[in-house]
Chain A
Amino acid sequence: MIAFILRRLLQSVMVMLTVALVAFALFRFVGDPVASMVGQETTLAERAEIREALGLNDPFPVQFVKFIARAVQGDFGISYRLQQPVMELILSRLPATLELALVSGVLAFAFGVGFGVYTALRRGNWLSGTIMTVSLIGVSLPTFLIGVLLIWVFAVELQWLPSFGRGEVVQVGNWWRTGLLTESGRASLILPAITLGLYQMTLIMRLVRAEMLEVLRTDYIKFARARGLSNRAVHFGHALKNTLVPVITITGLQMGSIIAFSIITETVFQWPGVGALFINSVRFVDVPVMAAYLMLIALVFVVINLIVDLLYYAVDPRLRVDRANARS
């Protein structure tokens, strides 16, 4: 068990290092940060000096090793753009992204399962047809367009919900600022959460529907019906329960994607999360923030996968047996 965990941890570290390396290699193509850091009057000699001071002239391996050496101590340097420590900047923006991801994940799961069950049970009726069609449109329209459409309808035309920002926030503890405790904060969350969760919702809905249809054809459902159980007990007690295992796995894994892909939603709604921070940093070639963000996203995926792996190991005895056999 310990050897397995160590092996997985080592692999995770290798993944993180690879991400760092790839990210660093890409930064060479995003342009010159100094051009956006100084005014147009700055002489070429002064620009060269700043470049030297920032270590941008160092050979690639030197820059990379310096970055890793500082990153393992949690020091990602200072943002070229906002002149604040990168770690502090990311930590201050992370709650916004996590709250958005969590709410849209929950929405996607609840509605996805609900619609999935409904469309599986009521195949062919007009409402199912409508849900399926709308979900197809939702999944094929780009996030950007969905966001703009929602803003147009609910913020500009109906004026029910705010078009941008996070509303009033409340400080909870040292690092967390939440928008969930204020009315304007909750209102601001609705449109971005729908925009971000729509794709996941469709995915879950289709998965639940397919699984349900599959399960409803199985023998034990027929037996359950033969036993005279109510429809409700058959559908929810037996059928749905058995479809949820893959659904929960997928939903868990999708949480990582929701965090990573919140970039577009955050930009459209001016949501002050890490995704918007990243996009603004790319525009400005703010290398320290870009590097830290990519490492953070890699970390999220690595941690989720690690947990899933460990859970499998705990749940599935065959994994242990295989390994024991392999060793002998």
Chain B
Amino acid sequence: MKMTPILRRARAGLLAGVAATALVVSGSVAMAETIRWARVTDALTMDPHSQNEGPTHTLNHHIYETLVGRDDDGTLTPRLATQWGISEEDETVWVFTIRDGVKFHDGSDMTVEDVVFSLDRARTPPSGMAALHAAVEEVTAVDESTVHVRMAGPAPLYVQNLTNTFIMSKAWAEANGVEAAPNFAAGEEAYSVRNTNGTGPYRLVERDPEVRTVLQVFEDHWDDAPAVTEIIYTPISEAATRVAALLSGEVDIVQDVPVQDIARLEQTDGIRVVRGPENRNIFFSYDMSSETLASSDAATNPFAEPLVREAMALALDRNAIRQVVMRGESQPSAAPLPPFVNGWTEEMDAFGDPDLARARELMEEAGFADGFSVRLDCPNDRYLNDESICQALVGMMAQIGIRVDLNAQTRSLHFPLIENWETDFYLLGWGVPTFDSQYVFDFLVHTREGSYGSFNGSRYSNPELDAKIEALATMTDLEERDALIAEIWAEVMDERIFLNVHNQVLAYAMRDSISLDVHPENQPRMTTVSFD
């Protein structure tokens, strides 16, 4: 069998070492470099607005571009917009200056009309991105390089919602009948599911869903040419096979490295593993509002009792979960948000050693000296080692008399339990794509009504806090706003709405001649790859 060379390098000539390194870093050396990239799942669709889903966005970011980008450290960077800000005359209007000289893959120029069209397409159902643009009233092109987005009210953080909203060609969409995002219920395949026309650094050359996707560098891209000129993307769902493919030299980068293989891969010659915090926290939460619990033998709802919640926090040994369940690959924390999200403080993240004696005292004080039984609902295929984390908790809770009956099942059965309030005690993971605490409050803390609180499985309802959360959305004075965020967090942490376990850590494994940093949203860009 003919093995393709790992990296086909065609160095034009001999360059002095220093100069070569400098040029590689700036990414402007003309070399043919192929990267074979494997991860667990494929993108669901190539349509830029149909699905708000991680792997889909990750692949599409290579073909399409957004107005603003997200750097490895979480900050916003200019992409198709060179400047953005809130209008000085009207605080409900966002002003975007659109980059000049951008071409689509079909050769046409990108204009402000395309931007207006794309934002309108993204905010109209059945687009999967609509919820992120719910506050938009109107998008207009003011002149040849300026787009105004008028919001229902002041929206100081709207730009944070744009990091996954791609710009597509209006003419191309109209020519191919994909003016709107594909509709699941329509019963036919849209042209945009397997065909693309973006402005991104790579063109789609071959697309065989769940088998192989090939991208080639787009010569007319506005930015510096990337070091990688061809990307071969293959989903490999089986963990052992994925790792084997890297070890046998059939792929160059494996994005989803199984936790149990990280240590072994690090010791393997020729393989490099990079790690970084993921934008995802793993925590337990419980029904703290109902009178009684459906799955418990207790006469009243024990989770409604603050002392019980405190006792549970004292019985949870986060470091043990890190050592035993996660093999050291997690960041234990008390607050349910990653460190790079606005509103996070070291203070709220800190936790003490477990104190079982004190926890048992608190249980007794709360009137549950004999403990109680409860069912814990847990997904078994959604987060890293999710079921094992739940199993560890069962043992820890038994120490203070809480008899936990573990119900671990697939994600499609688990999440409806939270949605329908059919669980008393559950595990949930939450990422914060806007990098701001408001996102956590909106979905997890606010009373469930309208677009608020859809993942608030604790049934927690505090009108005063709700009012504060709603106020956050329209506050333009950022200092004042941060103070309010701190105030809300103080209350949330004090009420112990969440029993947070840890922040997930991402690991990418690659051939050691390649450098790629971990992206906090788990959306690595092959444009950032460099070769040693």
Task: Please list the residues of chain A having a beta carbon within 8 angstroms of any beta carbon in chain B.
Answer: 30-33, 35-47, 50, 53-55, 75, 77-78, 80-85, 88, 148, 151-152, 155-156, 159-166, 183-184, 187, 267-270, 272, 276-277, 279-280, 283-285
Contacts and interface: CB of A to CB of B under 8 A. Distances in A.
A81 B238 CA distance: 19
B248 A50 contact: no
Contacts, number: 165
30 contacts: A31-B411, A35-B411, A35-B416, A37-B184, A39-B128, A39-B129, A40-B431, A42-B52, A42-B454, A43-B450, A45-B450, A46-B125, A75-B187, A78-B188, A78-B189, A83-B50, A83-B182, A85-B188, A85-B189, A151-B241, A163-B241, A163-B245, A164-B244, A165-B211, A267-B238, A268-B240, A270-B235, A270-B241, A272-B208, A283-B381
A155 B244 contact: yes
Q: Which of A148, A164, A187 has the most CB of B within 10 A?
A: A164
B51 A39 contact: yes
Given A78-B187, A84-B189, A268-B241, A41 B132 contact: yes
Given A41-B443, A83-B47, 15 more contacts: A30-B413, A39-B131, A42-B128, A53-B185, A55-B185, A78-B184, A78-B188, A83-B45, A83-B190, A85-B189, A88-B189, A155-B244, A269-B241, A270-B238, A280-B41
A41 B419 contact: no
B211 A33 contact: no
Interface of B: 1-3, 41, 44-45, 47, 50-53, 125-126, 128-132, 182-190, 193-194, 208-212, 234-238, 240-241, 244-245, 247-250, 381, 410-413, 415-416, 419, 430-431, 443, 448, 450-451, 454-455
Contacts of B240: 148, 151, 268
Contact of A164 (B190, B208, B250): B250
Contacts of B454: 40, 42-44
Contacts of B51: 37, 39
Nearest to A160: B1
Contacts of B448: 44
A64 B132 CA distance: 36
Given A50-B184, A162-B1, A268 B412 contact: no
A83 B189 contact: yes
A183 B241 contact: no
A28 to B, nearest CB: 11
Given A78-B186, A82-B44, A183-B2, A162 B250 contact: yes
Nearest to B45: A83
A268 B1 contact: no
A24 B244 CA distance: 37
Nearest to B182: A83
Contacts of B241: 148, 151, 163-164, 268-270
Given A30-B412, A272-B210, A81 B44 contact: yes
A251 B182 CA distance: 45
Contact of A31 (B44, B208, B416): B416
Contacts of B130: 46
Q: Which of B53, B186, B237, B248 has the most CB of A within 10 A?
A: B248
Contacts of B235: 270
A54 B184 contact: yes
Contact of B250 (A163, A267, A277): A163
A287 B208 CA distance: 21
Contact of B248 (A31, A55, A156): A156
Q: Which of A39, A162, A285 has the most CB of B within 10 A?
A: A39
Contacts of A85: 188-189
Contacts of B129: 39
Contact of A38 (B2, B128, B431): B128
Q: Which of A33, A78, A80, A85 has the most CB of B within 10 A?
A: A78
Leading 8 A-B pairs by shortest Cβ distance: A31-B412, A39-B52, A41-B131, A53-B185, A187-B1, A31-B413, A272-B211, A285-B412
Contacts of B455: 40
